[in-house]
Amino acid sequence: MRDEPLSRAFYNRDPATVARALLGKWLVRRTRDGLTAGRIVETEAYFGRGDPASHSHSGPTSRSASMFGPPGHAYIYSIHAMWCLNAVTQPAGIGSAVLIRSLEPEAGESLMARRRGRSERLALTTGPSKLCQAFHCDRGLDGWDLTRGSRLWIAGAPTVARGDIVTTPRIGLSVACERQARFCLRTSVFLSRKLKAAP
């Protein structure tokens, strides 16, 4: 199951739809050092030019070029001297993507720990830049085709029930703070932020 990459058609949809559908799927990375894999438990949707929080808002730049490319490719950018991984959605030219925010580690945890310089399981992949460090993802993989099934890809898994997904505002924004575009697996302890307790 971890060997079978998701298809181009999977990504060629609205980013909120893809963000939901990616929950529970496998993120897999293979390097000379070995294989790491984790289950996606938290995502955020970034829409096209109409979304003021999206890097696509002011049109393509050298940084966001791959975000305007075809769906199913990686968009990797730096923020605060760290890296974050997105999967591009919708046809080329739209500029929408899904940010992978948090994973549950499933394979290669000792390699993740070495790359992170930390051994606690909860500190390996519970944040967008933490998981990039644990999976050795940086600008060198920007634009990488995630449907190829080599180096870096996302593999299929059963669809998560809608009732197991919690929707919240996106994290860390100064604009469009109210939009419900963050998607979390309700029961996961590997979220980057704790969910607010039910009232």
Window 104-143: residues binding DNA (CB under 7 A): 116, 118, 123, 127-131, 139
Sequence-separated (6 or more) residues with CB below 8 Å from residue 106? 26, 37, 38, 39
Alpha carbons 168 and 190: distance in angstroms, whole number: 16
Secondary structure element (H or E) that encloses residue 82, with its range: strand 82-89
Q: Which of 16, 18, 97, 146 binds DNA (CB under 7 A)?
A: 97
Q: Which is nearer to DNA, 165 or 173 (CB)?
A: 173
Interaction between residue 67 and DNA (CB under 7 A): yes
Q: Which of 7, 172, 187, 189 binds DNA (CB under 7 A)?
A: 172
Interaction between residue 86 and DNA (CB under 7 A): yes
Q: Which of 12, 17, 31, 78 binds DNA (CB under 7 A)?
A: 78
Tell me the one-letter amino acid at 68: F
Q: Which of 77, 135, 183, 190 binds DNA (CB under 7 A)?
A: 77
Q: Which is nearer to DNA, 174 or 178 (CB)?
A: 174
Torsion over CA of 7, 11, 13 and 15, rounded to 10 degrees?
A: 160
Tell me the one-letter amino acid at 145: D
For DNA, how many residues bind (rule: CB under 7 A)? 38
Interaction between residue 163 and DNA (CB under 7 A): no
CB of 125 to DNA, least distance (A): 9
Sequence-separated (6 or more) residues with CB below 8 Å from residue 171? 44, 101, 182, 192, 193
Interaction between residue 7 and DNA (CB under 7 A): no
CB of 84 to DNA, least distance (A): 6
Specify whether the CB–CB gap between 55 and 49 falls below 8 A: no
For 88-107, give the DSSP string: EESSTTS-EEEEEEEEEEEE
Specify whether the CB–CB gap between 97 and 87 falls below 8 A: yes
In the complex, which residues of this chain contact DNA (CB under 7 A)?
Answer: 44, 46, 53-56, 58, 61-64, 67, 75, 77-82, 84, 86, 97, 99, 116, 118, 123, 127-131, 139, 170-174, 192
